[in-house]
């Protein structure tokens, strides 16, 4: 951004939105985020879903992380393996070897029987230099401890692969975001808004409380005032999980910067018209 424009925006009380999540192109199209990978056509949170997100041309994919019993950061949404694998039990009660022995694809379709629960490192290696990644730290794995838990381990994986500039860390749990900021002063983070966690706090207050850079809201809760407040602060606002065309049109009209969807193909097609 030219210095003069930056100074004018500062004088107007606005800041430029981080390039990472700035609307793309002259039309200002929102970023397309493949939710749990391209989970409309492949089992969520598997390498198959992430490969398809890259192939379809999404700007970013989102994944969810929890900790295995032996302390590995693994990619899975639910607290238990029951819904998305052929096993049973809590992720935190199973070792990495036990988790990766499970079939994480057949529940979706028989052709995916070889899919496994990936580690965060697996998923990031696949994404490197190809696509941005939103790493959502699930509340179930967050503790009050700054050291040794899922937040620090996630940061270690990101740094080991030198991918800090390609990821954004999000969580519904303010502790995870505050801990991430305490461990790293400039990694990008985004507050995942829920009425239950944040009550009546607006985007500015919710982001400031944990030093986060962006604000993610459910599409059913997003309001024009939230978009305005984020943009006044120079912060991106993303909405999840938008799968129907009518909802896509509605949130595009609101001016959001990024959209999580299980159907990135549908959103890309719609944006191209």
Q: Which residues bind ligand G3P (CB under 6 A)?
A: 35, 62, 64, 77, 136, 170, 192, 216, 240-241, 260
* Cβ nearer to Mg ion, comparing 136 with 262: 136
In the complex, the smallest distance separating the C-beta of residue 216 from ligand G3P, rounded to whole angstroms, is 6
Residue 87: exposure state from Cβ atoms within 10 A (0-12, 13-18, ≥19): middle
Reduced to 3 states, what is the DSSP secondary structure of residue 224?
Answer: helix
Q: Which does 69 bind (CB under 5 to 8 A by kind): Mg ion, ligand G3P, none?
A: none
Q: Which three-class secondary structure state does DSSP give residue 168? A: strand
Closest contact distance (angstroms) between CB of 192 and ligand G3P is: 6
- Of the two residues 64 and 229, which places its CB atom closer to Mg ion in the complex? 64
Cα–Cα distance for residue pair 227/125, rounded to 1 Å = 33
Q: Closer to ligand G3P at the Cβ: 12 or 131?
A: 131
Closest approach of Cβ 139 to ligand G3P, in Å? 10
| N-term to C-term CA, the chain | 28
The option from Mg ion, ligand G3P, none interacting with 260 (CB < 5 to 8 A, set by class) reads ligand G3P
- Between strands 73-75 and 60-67, the pairing is antiparallel
170 binds, among ligand G3P, Mg ion, none (CB under 5 to 8 A by kind): ligand G3P
**Beta carbon of residue 262, minimum distance to Mg ion (angstroms, whole number):** 11
Residue 180: partners with Cβ closer than 8 Å, 6 or more residues away = 137, 151, 154, 155, 169, 187, 189
Report the partner that residue 193 touches, choosing among Mg ion, ligand G3P, none (CB closer than 5 to 8 A by kind). none
Residues with a catalytic annotation lie at 35, 77
Which residue's CB is nearer to Mg ion, number 64 or number 262?
64
Quick one: CA dihedral 182, 186, 192, 193, positive or negative? Answer: positive
CB of 170 to Mg ion, least distance (A): 8
Measured CA to CA, the distance from residue 131 to residue 32 in angstroms comes to 11
Report how far residue 36's alpha carbon sits from residue 118's, in angstroms, rounded to the nearest whole number. Answer: 12
Site for Mg ion, rule CB under 5 A: 64, 136
Nearer Cβ to ligand G3P (14/124): 124
């Amino acid at each position: 951004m030219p210095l003069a424009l930056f100074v004018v925006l500062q004088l107007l009380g606005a800041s430029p939105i981080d390039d990472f999540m700035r609307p793309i192109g002259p039309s200002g199209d929102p970023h397309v985020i493949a939710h749990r990978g391209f989970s409309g056509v492949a089992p969520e949170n598997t390498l198959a879903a992430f490969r398809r997100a890259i192939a379809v041309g999404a700007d970013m994919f989102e994944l969810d992380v929890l900790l295995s019993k032996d302390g590995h950061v693994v990619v899975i949404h639910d607290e238990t393996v029951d819904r998305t694998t052929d096993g049973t039990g809590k992720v935190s009660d199973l070792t990495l070897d036990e988790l990766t022995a499970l079939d994480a694809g057949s529940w979706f379709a028989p052709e995916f029987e070889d899919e496994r629960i990936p580690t965060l490192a697996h998923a990031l290696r696949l994404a490197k230099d190809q696509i941005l990644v939103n790493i959502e730290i699930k509340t179930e794995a967050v503790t009050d401890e700054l050291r040794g838990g899922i937040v620090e381990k996630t940061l270690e994986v990101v740094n080991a692969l030198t991918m800090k500039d390609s990821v954004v860390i999000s969580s519904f749990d303010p502790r995870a975001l505050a801990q991430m900021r305490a461990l790293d002063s400039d990694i990008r983070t985004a507050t995942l808004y829920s009425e239950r966690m944040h009550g009546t706090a607006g985007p500015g207050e919710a982001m400031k409380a944990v030093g986060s850079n962006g604000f993610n809201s459910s599409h059913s809760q997003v309001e024009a005032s939230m978009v305005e407040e984020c943009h006044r602060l120079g912060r991106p606002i993303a909405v999840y999980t938008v799968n129907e065309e009518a909802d896509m049109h509605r949130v595009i009209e609101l001016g959001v910067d990024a959209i999580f969807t299980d159907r990135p193909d549908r959103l890309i097609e719609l944006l191209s018209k």
